[in-house]
Amino acid sequence: MADNLGARIRAARVSRGLSLRSVAQSLGVSASLVSQVEIGKTQPSVSTLYAIASHLGVSLDELVGGAAAAPVDAPADAPVSAIQRGADNPAIEMENGVRWERLAGRPGGPADALLVTYQPGASSSIEGKLMRHAGVEYAYLLEGELTLQLEFDTHVLRAGDSLHFDSTRPHLFSNRAERPARGVWFVVGRRQHHQEMPVAPGRADSDASGQAAGPPASAVDVLRAMEGLADSAAR
């Protein structure tokens, strides 16, 4: 399923009548990079993927290949399959050796459930910059070794270790070991937080043509935009 990421990005761009050059200029990357992502010759970094999703107005569910987000007020007893086979996990491969697999759960539910793999040398930010986003993060490391930089503190996690922190705190994950690190992640409360967040002062959400005015200022802006667009599409 990860192989379809580029095709989904291209379909979203074409459906909105946007050229490669205009998208690249808005994101501050080269048109060649966007083209290579669309045809599957390269995978985007985490930050580039978030920026593309925000600019094109698509949800993370759409890009990963999962079901579209359900309305927040959807009945609790709405039919949802209780089982998701491992071979059917929607997945995204990141440029820097990070793989996300979406685990079973109600689309648009209160938690994002992911099976995350960091290959040796992989990091949550290619540039080594600490990132933050809305929600509370929980994780359990199944195998390998993963280094977490949380603000000014550095922690080395090994198989059997778990973590929990407010995701708005600056953080960075990296695998400095020689074997893959793999764990289960839950991010809780991200959707609710984005729905309650005010628009940042002085930040325009769109230009006169209705298109996004430019790349998001932070990961929080990206995730907020993605959730809002997913909710609008589901109504």
Residue 51 inside a domain? The answer is yes
Distances (CA, A) of 41 to 7, 37, 117, 140, 152: 11, 6, 21, 32, 37
Q: Provide mean pLDDT across the span 26-32.
A: 87
Q: Provide mean pLDDT across the span 94-115.
A: 81
Distances (CA, A) of 45 to 11, 66, 220: 19, 20, 16
Q: Whole-angstrom Cα distance, residue 7 to residue 123? A: 25
Judgement on whether residues 53 and 101 belong to the same structural domain of the protein: no
Residue 72 inside a domain? The answer is no
Judgement on whether residues 166 and 96 belong to the same structural domain of the protein: yes
Check which CATH number belongs to the domain holding 29 and give it. Answer: 1.10.260.40
Residue 22 inside a domain? The answer is yes
155 φ, ψ to 5°? -130, 135
Residue 205 inside a domain? The answer is no
Residue 201 inside a domain? The answer is no
- pLDDT on residue 19: 92
Residue 84 inside a domain? The answer is no
Which residues constitute the domain of residue 36?
Answer: 2-67+218-234
Judgement on whether residues 226 and 176 belong to the same structural domain of the protein: no
Position 200 confidence tier, pLDDT thresholds 50, 70, 90: very low
Residue 79 inside a domain? The answer is no
Task: Count Cβ neighbours within 10 Å for each residue of 134-159 and write b for 16 or more, e otherwise.
Answer: bbbbbbebeebbbbbbbeeeeeebee
Judgement on whether residues 169 and 93 belong to the same structural domain of the protein: yes
Report the number of distinct structural domains present in the chain: 2
Check which CATH number belongs to the domain holding 140 and give it. Answer: 2.60.120.10
Tens of pLDDT along 31-87? 998 999 899 888 877 667 767 777 887 766 666 665 444 444 445 555 678 898 999
Residue-averaged pLDDT of the chain:
75
